[in-house]
């Protein structure tokens, strides 16, 4: 696992700030209730008192960026972002981390521990963020929306890939032949043309794969694990993309359009079969 990037750390800090903000509101409400009963002060006066108290508490200032923190330990943790210090070392692979919490999270890789469980299908994850992303498959929540065409996505990575369709940027280049692609996944499939290597083999049937992830997906056929469930008809699937394709039956979505007659289909394979009508 990679060490947390600055943007990831920023996200964690934002979450901490949100928790502090919620605490401020709780304190404000408590103070207000007390003053309403005694008739001492107005809401605005109470708010000013609570905010002043919180400002006084945040007396530890970062000399690099001016950020205010509530205690010395928080300031010391924050300063490592600027100094690059990583005092916490994994005794298994010697990878270094800025905070002990990040090391603890990393250790799940070596122990195989997956403490974050999905309440719908009981799938386990080593990080809470991975669990939240996974749960969107069940809830259908799509946080990322394209302002060009209105299409929504459950994961930011898929959203970024989609944006390439509108920009036309082909950022992924094959170092063998120089051909460029919109998506890295397409490039990976293309590279198989140049390399016949398939180092990952299934111990049950002997089938080989060029990528470890492909082997893991394949092994679900043998184990019978079908972790993706449709909550409309209770049907289950081995792969997330199979569930997404299935959901179009219920939503009526038909994203694949024939450029000749504009007829729409819910599966790309059906569109390919249809195109043969025009080629005859």
pLDDT in tens, 239-264: 788 888 888 888 888 888 888 888 88
Residue 157 structure tokens: 């990575």
CA separation, residue 12 to residues 24, 63, 82, 118 (Å): 19, 20, 16, 22
Interval 91-134: pLDDT, tens: 888 888 888 888 888 888 788 788 888 888 878 888 888 888 88
Confidence at residue 179, expressed as pLDDT on a 0 to 100 scale: 82
pLDDT band at 2; cut points 50, 70, 90: very low
Confidence at residue 153, expressed as pLDDT on a 0 to 100 scale: 84
Is position 182 within any domain?
no
Which span out of 5-19, 54-68, 108-122, 181-195 was modeled with the highest average pLDDT? 108-122
Range 160-168 contact pairs with CB under 8 angstroms and sequence separation of 24 or more: 161/185
Q: Select the more confidently predicted residue: 164 or 146.
A: 146
Is position 253 within any domain?
yes
Confidence at residue 43, expressed as pLDDT on a 0 to 100 scale: 52
Is position 101 within any domain?
yes
Q: Is the pLDDT of residue 194 over 50?
A: yes
Is position 17 within any domain?
no
Confidence at residue 141, expressed as pLDDT on a 0 to 100 scale: 83
Can you give the CATH number for the domain in which 261 is found?
3.30.160.60
Confidence at residue 45, expressed as pLDDT on a 0 to 100 scale: 62
Q: Say whether 237 sits in a helix, a strand or coil.
A: strand
- Of the candidates 154, 170, 131, the residue with the CA atom closest to the CA atom of residue 243: 154
Q: Is the pLDDT of residue 233 over 50?
A: yes
Is position 105 within any domain?
yes
Is position 150 within any domain?
no
Is position 259 within any domain?
yes
d(CA 221, CA 201) in angstroms, rounded, equals 14
- Number of domain units in the chain: 2
Pick the range with the lowest mean pLDDT from 14-18, 87-91, 160-164, 211-215. Answer: 14-18
Q: Is the pLDDT of residue 191 over 80?
A: no
Confidence at residue 82, expressed as pLDDT on a 0 to 100 scale: 86
* Domain assignment of residue 261, given as a range: 228-277
Give residues with Cβ within 8 angstroms of 166, minimum separation 6.
146, 148, 149
Q: Say whether 15 sits in a helix, a strand or coil.
A: helix
Is position 270 within any domain?
yes
Residue 26 structure tokens: 């709780």
**Is 228 buried (19+), middle (13-18) or exposed (0-12) by CB count in 10 A?**
buried
Q: Is the pLDDT of residue 16 over 70?
A: no
């Amino acid at each position: 696992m990679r060490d947390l990037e600055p943007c990831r750390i920023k996200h964690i800090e934002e979450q901490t700030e949100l928790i502090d903000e919620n605490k401020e509101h709780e304190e404000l409400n408590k103070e207000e209730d007390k003053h309403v009963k005694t008739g001492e002060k107005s809401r605005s006066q109470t708010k000013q008192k609570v905010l002043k108290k919180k400002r006084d508490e945040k007396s530890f200032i970062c000399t690099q960026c001016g950020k205010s923190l509530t205690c010395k330990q928080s300031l010391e943790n924050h300063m490592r972002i600027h100094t690059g210090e990583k005092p916490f070392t994994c005794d298994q692979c010697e990878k270094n981390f800025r905070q002990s919490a990040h090391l603890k999270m990393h250790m799940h890789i070596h122990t195989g521990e997956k403490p974050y469980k999905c309440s719908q299908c009981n799938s386990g994850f080593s990080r809470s963020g991975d669990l939240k992303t996974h749960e969107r498959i069940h809830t259908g929540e799509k946080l990322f929306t394209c302002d060009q065409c209105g299409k929504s996505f459950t994961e930011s990575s898929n959203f970024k890939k989609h944006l390439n369709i509108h920009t036309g940027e082909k950022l992924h280049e094959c170092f063998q032949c120089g051909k460029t692609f919109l998506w890295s996944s397409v490039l990976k499939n293309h590279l198989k043309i140049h390399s016949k290597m398939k180092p990952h083999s299934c111990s049950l049937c002997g089938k080989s794969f060029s990528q470890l992830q492909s082997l893991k997906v394949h092994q679900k056929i043998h184990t019978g694990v079908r972790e993706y469930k449709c909550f409309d008809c209770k049907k289950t699937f081995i792969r997330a993309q199979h569930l997404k394709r299935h959901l179009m039956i219920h939503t009526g979505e038909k994203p694949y359009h024939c450029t000749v007659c504009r007829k729409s289909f819910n599966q790309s394979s059906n569109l390919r079969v249809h195109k043969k009508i025009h080629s005859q």
